[in-house]
Amino acid sequence: MKMTRIFSGKGIRHSLNFLNGFVLAAILAAGAQAGVEAHMLDVGTKAPDFSLVSNKGDTVRLSNYRGKNHVVLVFYPGDQTPGCTKQLCSIRDDYADFGAKGAVVFGINPANAESHAKFVAKQHYQFPLLVDENKTVAKLYGADGIMVQRTVYVIDKTGIIVFARRGMPSDAEILASIIADQK
């Protein structure tokens, strides 16, 4: 059939690859013009409450930690990826320092609980990973986009944001923002 012949071969594949690349570039350019990078929440503002399911299947509610613990939220793009593994393993290795300051840590991204459970088991994280399937919490915290933007927040025991940073801040920077309880 002549129709099949027209749509087979290298020419059409190259045209489709070019078209796909062009469409992706147009989407990214439109997003950049529209300010795709979401606005982060400011230090000194009250952290929005949320509830998410963890890799263990339990529900984690931010407000349950108010008055009890400082909370570190680590928004990251994907499980089992080199940058995310590096960032979360660093926190894992310094986890005792976070605990000594009365802080709990939660990793957050859109992956499902099964993906998170495999990631936790492989890397031996002592902290839960939360499922934000529709990026609802990422949007609340200005960490949404085409992919979740790597963002770290520290929330004090009163529910106020005391640290907000994009990228991979060092554990020392994160820990410095947490004021340990007076004994």
Asked if 154 contacts 162 with a C-beta cutoff of 8 angstroms, the reply is yes
Q: In terms of domains, do 148 and 63 share one? A: yes
Helix, strand, coil percent values for the chain (each to nearest 5): 40, 20, 40
Q: What is the pLDDT of residue 37?
A: 61
Q: For residue 88, name the pLDDT band (cuts at 50, 70, 90).
A: very high
Asked if 40 contacts 154 with a C-beta cutoff of 8 angstroms, the reply is no
Q: In terms of domains, do 59 and 135 share one? A: yes
Per cent of the chain over pLDDT 70 is 78
Report the candidate in 84, 78, 105 with the shortest Cα–Cα distance to residue 94.
Answer: 105
Q: Tell me the angle at which helices 113-123 and 82-93 cross, rounded to the nearest 10 degrees.
A: 60
Q: Which residue has the higher pLDDT, 35 or 159?
A: 159
Q: Is 3 helix (H, G, I), strand (E, B) or coil?
A: helix
Residue 44 has pLDDT above 90, yes or no: yes
Number of domains in the chain: 2
Q: In terms of domains, do 107 and 72 share one? A: yes
Q: For residue 181, name the pLDDT band (cuts at 50, 70, 90).
A: low
Q: Cα–Cα distance between 38 and 122 in angstroms, integer?
A: 31
Average pLDDT, the chain: 85
41, 84, 129, 152: the catalytic one is 84
Residue 2 has pLDDT above 50, yes or no: no
Parent domain of 17 = 2-33
Which CATH number belongs to the domain containing residue 157 in this structure? 3.40.30.10
Residue 142 sits at the vertex; the CA angle it makes with 136 and 146, to the nearest 5 degrees, is 70
Question: Quick check: is 170 in a domain?
Answer: yes
End-to-end CA distance of the chain: 84
Does residue 89 carry a catalytic annotation? no
Asked if 96 contacts 127 with a C-beta cutoff of 8 angstroms, the reply is no
DSSP annotation string for 42-77: PTTSBPPP-EEEETTS-EEEGGGGTTT-EEEEEE-S
Q: In terms of domains, do 29 and 58 share one? A: no
Residue 100 has pLDDT above 60, yes or no: yes
Q: In terms of domains, do 92 and 165 share one? A: yes
pTM above 0.85, yes or no: no
Q: For residue 136, name the pLDDT band (cuts at 50, 70, 90).
A: very high
Segment 66-78 mean pLDDT: 97
Q: In terms of domains, do 56 and 21 share one? A: no
Residue 109 has pLDDT above 50, yes or no: yes
